[in-house]
Amino acid sequence: MHHKRFLLATCLALAACGHRDRDPRGVAHDEVLVQIVASGRADTRPDQARFVAGVETIAASSGEASRRNSEVINKVLASLEPLGVRKDDVQTRNVSLSRIGYGPNRGRFQANNMIEIRMRDVERAGEAIGRTTEAGADVLSGPDLVVSDQEAGNRSAYAQAYRAARARAEAYAAAAGLKVARVLVIRDAQEGGIPRPFPYAVGDAVAAEQAAPPPVATGPIVRAGMNESEVNIRVDFALAPR
């Protein structure tokens, strides 16, 4: 008899606990789970321009090719100093020295030096490109306009995404005669999170024709424009009776 009373008490205790416990999703027995996926967008202005400048030299000996290459690279770097380009803004991308085995320069030596230049003043990137070519750079790539702190630019997009998710949850709740009781989970639902840049101009035929100095001295026109970033989040809400 004592054993039966103990089993009955245990069952009643478990039943009472089960009534209070929430299920694994985090909602109580009288709540409804709603999962919302929402997106937010933010416009950020690029604050850096990066381009690659290279120098290629050919000479009869490896030493002469290297020496001449270094001279031109130093001229390129010196030409950028008036624009505020610091040592930390220049990074070597590739250095090579090889003997040419074909063509009219067969048997001579070719030296190559590629450097990446970071411009903190985006609007002067075109002028920087013009200066490097005038100083002797004969290989150019870019500019790429980038946002140095993309995460900061995304913060307003995340806030916008959450507001959109909350508004949708409240609409569901109102339609069902419920209310949003609480937020259960917020997850980042990004799929790469790559910012999508708006097209920006790097010069046009009309501007080139109207410019008095030759293009090699002035460089292309560079406009920063805006970058659009999109983020996606998933928010789980608990809806409860009013």
pLDDT value for 26: 74
Q: What is the DSSP string of 76-116?
A: HHHHHGGGT--GGGEEEEEEEEEE--SSTTTTSEEEEEEEE
Query: pLDDT exceeding 90 applies to what percent of the chain?
Result: 55
3-state secondary structure (DSSP) of residue 141: strand
Q: How confident is the model at residue 43 (pLDDT cuts 50, 70, 90)?
A: confident
Q: How confident is the model at residue 123 (pLDDT cuts 50, 70, 90)?
A: confident
3-state secondary structure (DSSP) of residue 231: strand
pLDDT digits 0-9 by tens, 27-38: 888 899 999 999
Domains delineated in the chain? 23-45+150-241 (3.30.110.170), 48-146 (3.30.70.2970)
Q: What is the mean pLDDT of residues 226-232?
A: 82
202 pLDDT more than 50: no
- Contact status, residue 224 vs residue 152, Cβ threshold 8 Å: no
pLDDT value for 224: 66
Q: Which amino acid, residue 216?
A: V
Distance of CA 25 to the CA centre of its chain: 34
pLDDT value for 156: 86
pTM for the complete prediction?
Answer: 0.58
pLDDT value for 95: 94
